[in-house]
Structure 1
Amino acid sequence: MATPKPCEVSLIAHTSFTLPLGMDLGFIKDSSDADSLVEFAGRACYETWDRPNPHTASNEAYIRHIMEVGHTALLEHPTATFYIRGLSRGCAHEFMRHRHLSFSQLSQRFTPDDDIDVVVPAEIAKDKQLTDLFLEACDVARDTFSELLSSLEKKTPGAASGRMNALLRQKQARQAARAILPSATETRLVATGNFRTWRHFIGMRATENADQEIRHLAIAILKELQSVAPHAFGDFSVTELSDGTEVATSPFVSES
């Protein structure tokens, strides 16, 4: 039977920052590596290492100032990479529309589907009867996939052409049969982006108007980013709606 899969977001890499060796610039780190890199890049433009303006003397105040004036290009220097599991392929397609992010996704063509894990939409998951119906439909799709795959592997020509051709035939059969699999099929992927891009993604997808699955993903990513860059993402606040789901908003980011 199809197995429901929850979304799991793991931060697997993020920017580290080291002051230039052999250079006494007078710059003092007072925040995380990622936040410090944003400030260092900005101060490099004017070499204001000694923080002459008391209003932007702390890292937190400096980053808030660049948000206020819109100097967000500085946020392109630090990056973060996530490994995401339990995401539906339908949601993954929406995620990949954010083309300034970089993705490496599990291949259905090369990876056997011995079992089928699926992501049950939140509205369906609230109702056991609907959930059972949904999982039954996924089972039918999986059984049909297996039948198609078996038949295609037998029908594909060139059976005596060697091991490499046999592997190619398997891939060709799989890529044809996979068309029947539902968009709820679970996928796994790696996603990398700079902070400016992540802020744009969160601003668009962590809102009430966004689909619940991608909204949940955006907020999970935001919480991880706030742990490594509290000032670069500290302007976002997460609140709970009446239905129990969450949204994230910032005075410096819009949905557009």
Structure 2
Amino acid sequence: MKVTVVASTRISEDRWDDQGSAFPVQTSPEFDVLGDDPSRPVTDADELAEFAGRACYKSWSKPNPATAANSDYMRHILRQGHFSVLEHASVTFYVEGVSRALLLELERHRFLSFSVESQRYVDTEKHHPEPVLPPAIAAGSSAAGLVRDAYAFALNDYRILVQHLGGQGLKRKEAREAARAVLPNATPVDFLVTGNLRAWRDVLGKRWHEAADAEIRELAGLILGHLRALAPGAVQDVPRTPFAY
């Protein structure tokens, strides 16, 4: 499994407040939640969330010292549940080498946007010769051998069907769209997925959880790691270990 950040929101250099002054970029004097570096500059995603909140009340002067620092302001937002300000910043990930089963679960999160590798155009046998093993199955175990054997058998049927249907005059995409019927949940898939910070928090709340499917929990952990760098204030209340009942 590989998760790569390919895009994230950046604040325009010509941002202004209602007094004609640039909304200040600051370093956080107190951001020790979960071991974050207190000297790191506030990220664009966290700054944008604060900007959105202050724009609602025109509180540019930061009159309340308890929320003057971005980390404190974001902590207040999370405690109050004012998650709408988190919807302005988004992050796009390119996810590689996960199973179709994982994709089907992730697509239940309605506010994510997907661009998914096509099984009609992509030759599965060529690009994905090995299955995705569930985390519960060790790579060198006999159970792994069973999964690999079943996947190899499915790929062989897939190849036969593509050749047979192509011989009947179907185009390659038409042959593959029919032949993919024999491919299992373990078939790998790559996709692009975009979500705003509120949507990603929803994913983490449900998938960064001890009761979640093991593979998607692993994905959630990787996403959380990226979000800690891109928007530490927005995920400062998310634990380093999965949520538990």
- TM-score where L is the length of structure 1: 0.84
The equivalent of 1:178 in structure 2 is 180
C-alpha deviation, 1:170, in angstroms: 1.6
| Identical columns (%) | 41
Counterpart Cα distance in 1 of 2:2 and 2:203 = 18
1:125 and 1:142 mapped to 2: Cα distance?
22
1:25 and 1:49 in contact (8 A); partners too: no
Matched, 1:44 2:55: yes
2:103 corresponds to 1:92:
yes
| Contact 2:91/2:195, CA 8 A, preserved across alignment | yes
Equivalent position to 2:164, from 127, 145, 151: 151
Gapped regions of structure 2 (runs ≥ 5): 27-41
Over aligned residue pairs, what C-alpha RMSD do you find? 1.7
Residue-pair matches, total: 226
| Number of the residue aligned with 1:76 | 87
Structure 1: distance between partners of 2:187 and 2:108 = 18
The 3-state SS of whatever aligns with 2:232 is: coil
Runs of 4+ in 1 over 6 A off after TM superposition: none
- Aligned equivalent of 2:224: 222
1:28 is aligned to: 24
Number of the residue aligned with 1:14? 8
Question: Normalising by the residue count of structure 2, what TM-score does the alignment of the two structures yield?
Answer: 0.87
Contact 1:156 1:173 (8 Å CA) reproduced: no
From the two aligned structures, give the one with the greater strand fraction: 1
Give distance in 2, aligned partners of 1:52 and 1:20: 24
More divergent stretch after superposition (42-51 vs 25-34): 25-34
Task: Give the C-alpha shift of residue 203 in structure 1.
Answer: 0.5
State the shift of 1:21 in Å.
5.1
Q: Is residue 112–residue 195 contact of structure 2 (8 Å, CA) maintained in 1?
A: yes
Residue segments in structure 1 that go unaligned for 5+ positions in a row: 1-6, 158-168, 240-246, 250-254
